[in-house]
């Protein structure tokens, strides 16, 4: 069973993504901050991380992505940024940080499922 970590400071968004992905056989883990995500990734080694960019605290989603992708222990993790930031320069920043894919809120549940399946293949 594939493990997916959902990282968003908003509980409603984490629940929505979890419900969306519940149609497949995934084990869902949640984090509400970039720092918590980093700690969970090191402990749990999820197959995929779905990460928001804008989160409170010192480590937002972009910085958490950079940290994970620059750490030899976690650099192979797959990260989809799921964010309301949809401008081209936001996308570019996400890919520069190391994201494997970029998905903009509000999202189509069906498209998110397809994106997750595509990235995990």
pLDDT digits (tens, 9 = 90+) for 77-94: 999 999 999 899 999 999
65: in domain: yes
Q: Are 28 and 1 contacting, i.e. CB atoms less than 8 angstroms apart?
A: no
How far, rounded to the nearest angstrom, does the alpha carbon of residue 60 sit from its chain's CA centroid?
12
Q: pLDDT tens digits, residue range 8-30?
A: 999 999 999 999 999 888 999 99
Name the residue range of residue 56's domain. 2-114
How far is 38 from 108, CA to CA, in rounded Å? 27
User: Averaged over 37-55, what is the pLDDT?
Assistant: 97
Q: Domains in the chain: how many in total? A: 1
19: in domain: yes
Q: Return the pLDDT at 23.
A: 83
* CATH number, domain with residue 91: 3.40.50.2300
Other C-beta atoms closer than 10 Å to the C-beta of 104 total 14
Q: What is the dihedral of CA 40, 76, 62, 81, to 10 degrees?
A: -90
68: in domain: yes
Roughly what angle, to the nearest 10 degrees, separates helices 61-70 and 88-97? 30
* Ramachandran quadrant class, 68 (left: phi over 0; alpha: psi -120 to 50; beta: rest): alpha
For the full predicted model, state whether its pTM sits above 0.85.
yes
How far is 99 from 62, CA to CA, in rounded Å? 8
Structure tokens at 49: 């991380």
């Amino acid at each position: 069973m594939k493990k997916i970590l959902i990282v968003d400071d908003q509980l409603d968004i984490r629940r929505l993504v979890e419900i969306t992905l519940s149609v497949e056989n995934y084990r869902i883990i949640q984090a509400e901050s970039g720092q918590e995500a980093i700690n969970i990734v090191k402990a749990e080694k999820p197959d995929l991380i779905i990460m928001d960019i804008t989160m409170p605290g010192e480590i937002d989603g972009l910085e958490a992505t950079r940290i994970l992708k620059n750490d030899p222990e976690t650099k192979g993790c797959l990260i989809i940024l799921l964010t309301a930031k949809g401008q081209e320069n936001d996308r570019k920043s996400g890919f520069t940080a190391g994201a494997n894919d970029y998905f903009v809120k509000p999202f189509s549940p069906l498209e998110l499922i397809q994106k997750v399946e595509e990235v995990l293949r």
